[in-house]
Amino acid sequence: MEKTEDKNQQQEEEQVVNPWEVSAKDGGKIDYDKLIDKFGCQRLDQSFVDRVQRLTSRPPHVFLRRGVFFAHRDFNDILDAYERGDKFYLYTGRGPSSEALHLGHLIPFMFTKYLQDAFKVPLVIQLTDDEKCMWKNLSVEESQRLARENAKDIIACGFDISKTFIFSDFDYVGGAFYKNMVKVAKCVTYNKVVGIFGFTGEDHIGKVSFPPVQAVPSFPSSFPHLFSGKDDLRCLIPCAIDQDPYFRMTRDVAPRIGYHKPALIESLFFPALQGENGKMSASDPNSAIYVTDSAKDIKYKVNKHAFTGGQDSIEKHRQYGANLEVDIPIKYLNFFLEDDVELEHIKKEYGAGRMLTGEVKKRLAEVLTELVERHRRARAAVTEEMVDAFMAVRPLPNMFD
């Protein structure tokens, strides 16, 4: 009796990280070391970053330098193969649950664009409109519409149309893709999927049979119009770490059906404006910076809603310095300020109390505004025809150039 009680208590206290829920222990911070341990993936250390720089002959992306993408599975295999001249393809995606995208949503796409440019490899992007239809109880039409709207923001991140295929599940599932889905489904018992995703007897069968849909883009044979004859092609999946369960399942199944296991490169969660403990939520527009925010909105949100580690008074601040551990502007600058030297300087001065919170916030607002402006201009250039072209089932003859 006692043992089960203890176990229950421990489960309550543990952090929860899965594709549909992310919450820290006791409302604190996410413990990433524990997560890596629990999931069984590897840390991405500096040697990887250096190796990427060497192989691509260009400075590594700011997200790599700052440890935003911090964990991986088999990334070294991908790099080994690349060095031998064997290319790979990228696979990432989005669940289109809302029209409004915030900066946190853009992060995997910004990184994926860098990977596409640096390694000169093709990319498939999956829009899981069916998933959102099922989980968020949207109508089929609405989820399809959101998928297209989100596609525009994704395209605005700068993907090369001659190397990128965007697809929505409702449009694309079928044919070779579906054949792979069935192959995968046959290898995963009901009990296993309940264990991985926590389904219950009350969940509808749509949910239970969804995981293969997100698994099979990892296999090149799912895209005969792109990779026909290249069954050996490896796949690298940049994603946030909460997607790991899908791909653990996929990696488990892959060798059993004769495919390479997909490699993963995983990122931290993007903190809400209110702090690590806060939740970014679509219903609270002040919890995040949206790509549609104006310079004025950004300035307002950063000034009024960003949780800072500064002290209560100027005197105390000059004396003790800022608490960089919890300071959101510093964390955001860590993600988005390109210049390493400037960031170090700000951290040093702010941590010592010589720089004030107001200055840091001002710099952050500038950086974010520039980012959002650039995105908006790129978004304005995306037309319905361009979306159609990105989503057309067409060959990409120059995808490795």
Partner 1 sequence: MGYSKDQLLARLKELQIEFSQYEHPVVLTVEAQAKYVGNLGGALSKNLFLKDKKHRYYVVSALADTKVDLKVLSQRLGLGKGGLRMAPEEALGEILQVPLGCVTPFAVVNESARHVSLLLDQGFKNQECCFFHPLANDMSISLNAHGLDKILKSIGRNPSYIDLEANPPVGKDQPPDLAAYVPSDSPVLPDLPEKAPSSQDSTGDSVGAATKTAAFTAKAVKPSGNAKNVKEKSADSARPSIPAADAGKFVEELLDRASALLLSEISEDSIKQHGGQLGAEVANNVKKYLREDLKNLATIFKNTAYTEGFYAGTRCQPKRL
Where along the sequence are the contacts to partner 1 (CB under 8 A)? 99-100, 117, 141-142, 144-145, 148-149, 152, 155, 158-162, 285, 290, 292-294, 297, 374, 376-386, 388-389, 392, 394
Least CB distance from residue 168 to partner 1, whole Å?
Answer: 12
In this structure, are strands 16-18 and 21-23 parallel, antiparallel, or unpaired?
antiparallel
How far is 329 from 306, CA to CA, in rounded Å?
A: 7
> Which residue's CB is nearer to partner 1, number 176 or number 382?
382
> Which residue's CB is nearer to partner 1, number 352 or number 381?
381
Strand 88-94's sheet: what is its strand order?
42-43, 69-73, 263-267, 234-240, 88-94, 123-127, 164-168
Residues 6+ apart with CB under 8 A from 368: 103, 289, 298, 302, 332, 336
222: amino acid identity, one letter: S
Residue carrying the six token digits 């070294």: 76
Least CB distance from residue 119 to partner 1, whole Å?
Answer: 15
Phi, psi of 188 (to 5 degrees): -125, 115
Least CB distance from residue 162 to partner 1, whole Å?
Answer: 6
42: amino acid identity, one letter: Q
> Which residue's CB is nearer to partner 1, number 145 or number 248?
145
> Which residue's CB is nearer to partner 1, number 119 or number 290?
290
Taking Cα atoms as reference points, which of 60, 101, 98, 35 lies closest to residue 266? 35
Least CB distance from residue 100 to partner 1, whole Å?
Answer: 7
- The alpha helices in 156-287, defined as continuous H runs, are 169-172, 175-186, 190-197, 205-208, 211-215, 224-227, 244-253
> Which residue's CB is nearer to partner 1, number 8 or number 162?
162
Least CB distance from residue 189 to partner 1, whole Å?
Answer: 38
Phi, psi of 201 (to 5 degrees): -60, -20
How far is 137 from 356, CA to CA, in rounded Å?
A: 46
How far is 48 from 183, CA to CA, in rounded Å?
A: 34
Least CB distance from residue 157 to partner 1, whole Å?
Answer: 9
Helix, strand, coil % in the chain, rounded to nearest 5: 55, 10, 30
Least CB distance from residue 16 to partner 1, whole Å?
Answer: 28
How crowded is residue 22: how many other Cβ atoms within 10 Å of its Cβ? 16
How far is 39 from 244, CA to CA, in rounded Å?
A: 8
> Which residue's CB is nearer to partner 1, number 250 or number 287?
287
Least CB distance from residue 367 to partner 1, whole Å?
Answer: 14
Least CB distance from residue 290 to partner 1, whole Å?
Answer: 8
In this structure, are strands 164-168 and 123-127 parallel, antiparallel, or unpaired?
parallel
> Which residue's CB is nearer to partner 1, number 38 or number 374?
374
Phi, psi of 29 (to 5 degrees): -90, 155
How far is 269 from 35, CA to CA, in rounded Å?
A: 12
